Chains A and B, each alone.
Chain A
Amino acid sequence: MNEVIDKIISEKGTAVEAVIPILQAIQMEYNYLPADAMQRVCELTDISLARIYGISTFYSQFRHQPVGKHIIKVCVGTACHVKGAMRVYDAFKRELKLDENDDTDKDGLFTIDKVACLGCCTIAPVVQIDDSTFGHVEPSKVSEILYEFLNSDKDSSSTSSGLTSNIKGIDGEIRIGLGSCCIASGSSDVKAELEKSLKANNTKVDVKQVGCVGICNQVPLLEIHKNGESPYYYTKIKSTEVNEIIRKHFRSRNPFTRLRTDISGIIDNYIINGIPKSVKKYSSESVDTPVAEFLKGQINIATEHRGAIKPDDLDEYKKLGGFEALQNCLNSNPNEIINTIKQSGLRGRGGGGFPSGQKWELVKNTNSDQKYVICNGDEGDPGAFMDRMLLESYPFRVIEGLIIAAYTVGANTGLFYIRAEYPLAVKRIKEALYYCEKANILGDNIMNSDFSFSLNIFEGAGAFICGEETALIASVEGNRGLPKMRPPYPAVSGLWGKPTLINNTETFSLVPWIIRKGANAFADIGTKNSKGTKVFALAGKINRGGLIEVPIGITIRKIVEEIGGGIPNGKAFKAVQIGGPSGGCIPATMSETPIDFESLSEVGAMMGSGGLVVLDEDDCMVDIARYFLEFTQDQSCGKCTFCRIGTRRMLEILEKICRGDGKLEDIETLEKLAASTKKGSLCGLGKTAPNPVISTLKYFRHEYLEHINGKCPTGKCKELIEYFIVDECIGCTKCAQDCPTDAIEFKPYEIHIVNNDLCIKCDICRQVCPVNAVIIK
């Protein structure tokens, strides 16, 4: 072991700030942090045992116990939560026969873990086993998933080099999105099948792997661009359907193959799910298709060339105007750039909405021999995945924005802070940095100017609080991510005490467009005080979830009804949760509220980083508040009293209410505690943590009162509900077979009965019942 550790240290260095990268490397090696390894690190470096242990226990990425061969990560982000993630988690625990406090099964095959958010909200509930992601996971499908995982051919997903764009005589182009959601939904398989199929049919088509296509819940999505025809979209396709699609659009060059494939059946089921129109494919010219509806009303600035651009193709990015803005800036005076940014009205997209131009100016005007620029990609809000999408799909754009900022403020060193849960984003940025360095876009005298700039990646280790800029800096410096008092602001004294510009990923990605098109083009979009567009992660109970970029000031209703296509399954729209754990719930009755910084604050929510989770009539608002407090009391850095204990006590009151043990005076205590936690906490996390409670109490107080009267009106709170089987039961025994606790007796052809003393409310019976005879009371 010592040799391994010694090698890691020789790579990462012996300084105190190397602690997180060292621990990450050790964990990569052993899957956990062996005590001896940590001991060895302390012997060889300046890192003390007290520090290393303080760090390793602060960040949730690190494990201190050996783990199973495979790690199951159950996402419990907001979108997954409202779609039953906890039931999925429980189902895995049952399937693996784990006791309450166990997380690894007897055979050491699987370790189960809850993760805050995998950022695949549109295909919720999501489970990741090692590198494989599974979407739309239902508790009843858990054993199937484990079986599938263990028996899948690992090599099939590896890149098969079939076709390149250099083939002569190309008939067209097929675009396939390979963002995290797409891959989770099976895009890799589709791509592999596509290549196989094209080869078999001897079809000459360019397969282009693009970034996130945005319309995440329709993926895998194929876009077929045939020479001389308008493009066609195929949504939610399965790998088994690929061959027929190809056959339909591109005649095989091999007559034999053509003959053989003509015999197989007709394509009939790659229609957008839940959309009643029985069209088989969507032409981009017809305006009433779901794809067109989804794209209508959006403005692509951060997501410019969405679905068309290849994430790792620097030449393509340049061809489409990339790095023009940078070139432009390198020939301008920094003050002019600041003026442009100021005029554009750009405000920080991380949540606070601080005017970006002003921030840049502050850093620029602070004298120092050394300055830093940091891109904040530590997107920790459960239910948000904007940063991930931007980093994965438009790495060059973010880099360009960052270099412009660095040039403007006079920084020669920059950093991407990307959360560890986003491996693909890290990979794409890494590649992009490599290409940029080779192309003299990074490094010394970039683009033949006097300006030199180096850019690195720091992988976050799993702590929501590190999205807060002072905590982020603390973690880069090799400390526990504790936020500091501001002032001093990082703009004056940041990383290593030097002036540091920290902007959100999205903020940077808007910059090149603003420079290219001019401040006014940006300022023309949006409202009086909030200019431009905002990227939202639309998820939850919505027909068309995905990554959307809309003009600021758009109403909630427009997003939910027009872009998102309303609520699935005929349910009623109840509320949207905006801003994650710092935000609030806005009821459907207020859906005309325009989405801008000020309006959202007024109604008790917050722009946040842009998570937008839609809730329907089945969602319990007390449960939502409880959910967020459970998150914050765990993610609090644990330093100041109000945040550390206040959030926990609020959670305990909410749990009590959800259990049906709440009393009227508990609501009053909760309200007062929320007010003092808001007032007395040190940093933004604590100050905004009570928002989910305050907003639900404001708009959905009646639901709290109903719980106090012993009833959960939506049937969400386990302790307050019971399952019943009604007369529609056909006696198919499915429920009895799948019930994990034998609470339903096996009675073929008879009406089944749930024994509520044994029932654990896993909901499986209701899901497997073919005639909807299982109800909740």
Chain B
Amino acid sequence: MPNKKRTAVAAAGIILAGALVSFAVWPRMFEAGTPVVNVYCAHDAIFADAIFDEFTRQTGIKVAITYDTEATKSLSLVDRLKREREHPQCDVFWNNEQVGTMDLAGQDVLATYKGSGYGRIPALYKDADGRWTGFAARMRVWIVNTKAMPPDREKVETFFKNHPEHCAMANPLYGTTLTQFSILWQLRGPEHVKSWRADLRQRGLREMAGNAPVKDAVAEGVCEVGWTDTDDFFEALDDKKPVAMLPLFVSDGKATGAESKYTIIVPNTVGLIQNCPHQSEAQRLVDFLLSAETELALARSKSRQIPLGPVDSQKILPEVRELAQSVPQGYDLRKLEMPRRECIDWLKSESRR
């Protein structure tokens, strides 16, 4: 009798193991036949989820998402897409910045697609060949602790110059801080950026792990001034922290006047993957992401993304409306690929010393 029972337990174990192995080999076994689109998404999950849910609700197409986490930021989705170039698994890439997407376009990872949303985005924020299109942007800003000082541009800039030890910025190897450094690299030259950073570090500028810690450090009064993005700033504001912001301007330092100053507008970008497995579903998602509806939804979300295309201005919050006026003043990031690469190489070489 125990032998029979043993056989029964062994059989149950084998069935369970078989089920586990089958699921491991074919994780979509329960969803066979459902239309699906694979997305690699570098935008914040807490905001992107709502957009994807709405797309699925409207079209019936399920969205399988791989998010770019803090854990993978160094091994970003951009690198994963490059590695998968010969055998693409992803259909749509939603990046939270522009230069990495341009890098992919340069390596023939992205396909040309000018769908219904392409036309409504200004030329400054899209690829002329249609390999990627920008939408719903963030802006680089000064974040100021109002208990420490008033949000006065001159005072803030002077304070940063004189007391960098009370100021914070994110590690420039990543994200929008890298974009900011790359712009300075292009505008002012490598030598200027190198000596400027060395001086700031030597005088104690705090380099944090990301923009969110910069925002937290300023919001908590640990640092008085920092650089971050508008979405992080608004998070602190919603938490009723004593913070204010000022748009960050960049210039070549030579010419004077308003026309020589640029804001740093960093759009989300979307691209269709070359030879992707679910092309028609992917095109529908790209159209959806580039629609006024999505830009409005992201502008009304807690992150207050700035719409790049025309939307009904009455439907967006006043602070976003104000930010949207800076869109034409944004620095042209389309020629930033090479400075970014050089900047990364330099920053890495610094870390090896």
A is bound by B? no
- On A, residues with C-beta under 8 Å from B are none
